[in-house]
Amino acid sequence: DSGVTQTPKHLITATGQRVTLRCSPRSGDLSVYWYQQSLDQGLQFLIQYYNGEERAKGNILERFSAQQFPDLHSELNLSSLELGDSALYFCASSVAPTPGEKLFFGSGTQLSVL
Amino acid sequence: GESVGLHLPTLSVQEGDNSIINCAYSNSASDYFIWYKQESGKGPQFIIDIRSNMDKRQGQRVTVLLNKTVKHLSLQIAATQPGDSAVYFCAEVGLGGSNYKLTFGKGTLLTVNP
């Protein structure tokens, strides 16, 4: 158990809908990262928050947004969903503000857009 | 495109043999490399890391080798066990814009035959 908790484990929805994925980092970790994993693209970095502030942005679509709350949990919001958004979404956490320290990953949320 | 890639998408070995998983990277400025293991239904799990000022690092049954001259990284697993069956990712940390980014390779599927 990595200590990172993601909910829900599975999510099935329709195109055009909006969903929210939730992540609770390990106790004491201030950084939260979101990654998207698909068969053809591998693990793609979406966005990072550190202590409530956006720290780095990767290949995140404008339809996607995230935030980190004062209790350090994070939410990833995906809107106007398309079939191609079906993927595994991982959250990871670390103590440091940079990814130079090893990340601890949650078990992921499997999103299926039908 | 991504700067980290893997030579072999799949690797099948016999239990007890040594396994070698290779990875190429193109960003010569990357200063930190990490190997992750991802088992089915789980998030990536940290295995071992290496800084760019080193060429070898050993862990328990695993060794990472870094060849900066040819920008090559390898993970060696000694006495491979069925529990080692998983997808293995190399990742590099380098400066991307104004922030450090952790970039993952596509992954190699290791299958250990009993």
**8 Å CB contact between A95 and A31:** yes
Region B97-113: what's the mean pLDDT? 84
> Is B111 within 8 Å of B13 (Cβ atoms)?
yes
Contact status of B46 with chain A (Cβ, < 8 Å): yes
The alpha carbon of residue B15 is apart from the nearest alpha carbon of chain A, in Å, by: 26
Task: Identify all chain A residues contacting B101, using CB atoms and an 8 Å cutoff.
Answer: 45, 56, 58, 99
Neighbours of B15 (CB within 10 A): 14
Of B42, B102, B106, the CB nearest to A107: B42
Q: Is the pLDDT of residue A15 over 90?
A: yes
**Helix H segments across chain B?**
none
The average pLDDT across A21-50 equals 92
Nearest to B62, CA basis, from B46, B44, B43: B46
Nearest to A105 among B41, B44, B106 (CB): B44
pLDDT tier at B4 (50, 70, 90 boundaries)? low
Give the nearest partner residue to B100 out of A100, A102, A103, using CB atoms.
A100
Close Cβ partners of B16 (under 8 Å, ≥ 6 residues apart): B79, B80
- Chain A interface with B: residues with Cβ < 8 Å: 2, 4, 33, 35, 42-45, 48, 55-56, 58, 90, 92, 98-100, 102-108
CB A108 within 8 A of CB A7: no
Question: Does position B3 have pLDDT exceeding 80, yes or no?
Answer: no
With contact defined as beta carbons under 8 Å apart, do B14 and B31 qualify? no
Q: Is the pLDDT of residue B60 over 50?
A: yes
Quickly count: other Cβ atoms within 10 Å of residue A40's Cβ. 7
Nearest to B73 by CA among B19, B22, B7: B22
